[in-house]
Structure 1
C-alpha cells in the first residue's frame, strides 16, 4: 500500500510518500509545497495544484492528513483550516480514502509520547524509514502522518475496531 501523508500549512504544506508491505516501511518521496505570498486564494490554488501533482506523480492508494489544531490566533487557525481544506479537496477529487490524525496521535504513534517535540518526531521518522539525513521539518511531519496511518491501518488495529475497541492515550478503550 502506498500512503501519502500531508502536513497542511498556508505557507508551506509538507508531503511524504511511503510504501507499506507487511511490517516493512519504505521511503518513496517527501517535500514541501511552498505557496507564494499575497492573497489567500492564490495560496489555496497553489496547494490544490501541488497536491494534485504529487498524487499524479506518486499514485498513492490512500492519504492521511493532520487535523488542524486551534491556535491562540483565530485568524491563523482559519487560514490553516483553509489550507487543509485545499489539500483535502485535491485528495477527494482524486477519490483517495483519507485518514485524519491529530498532532497528539501522530506524536504518540511515531515517538510514543504525545508531547514530543519536532526534533524527536524528525529523528524517529529518520530511524523508522532508515533515511540518511533528516527531512525538512514540514516533510518530516508529513512522513510522520503517513507512518501514523500505516500503524492505525494495520491488521491489529482493524481487528480491534471490529471488536468495538480503540486505543486512546496509549491504552485499550
Structure 2
C-alpha cells in the first residue's frame, strides 16, 4: 500500500471513489469546490500494489471563533468498500498527522464515526470547549492535537470554509 499526496491524474479516480462510497454526490462536489478554490491544505491518496486508488482524505482550513490558528478539518475521508477494515484509513491518518505537524498545522477536527476516529487519537471536542457549527450528537465531533499544547487555552466555535455550506 502506497500513501502519497494527490496528483493531477488522481482527480477523476478520487471523484469516482467518493461517488461510490457516499450516498450522494455532495462529498465529491465538495472536494471539487475545495480543489478549484485552493482550499485544500493536504490531500492524500492510498493506492494498492497495482496502483489503483483505494483511499482518499482531504484537509482544509477551519477557524476557531473567526480566528485562524492553522487548524484543519478532515473531510471527507473515503476507503473503497472492499478495502475497508484493513487499517488503510488509520495508516492514512497517521501519515496526515505527521505531515500536518511538520507543516505547522497543529490541530485536526473531524465530524465522523465515534467508534472509528478515537482509534486514531481523536477525542470528543465539546468537553475540550470546542463546538461544532452544526447540530450533531456531541460524540461525533472530535478533535486531535498533533502538536502538543496547541489547544491550550483555546475554546470556541469551529467554522469551515464556505464550500461546506452546500452539504
TM-score, normalised via structure 2 length: 0.30
Higher relative contact order (CA 8 A, sep 6+): 1
In terms of fraction of residues, the more helix-rich structure is: 1
More strand by share: 2
Under a length normalisation based on structure 1, what TM-score does the superposition of the two structures give? 0.29
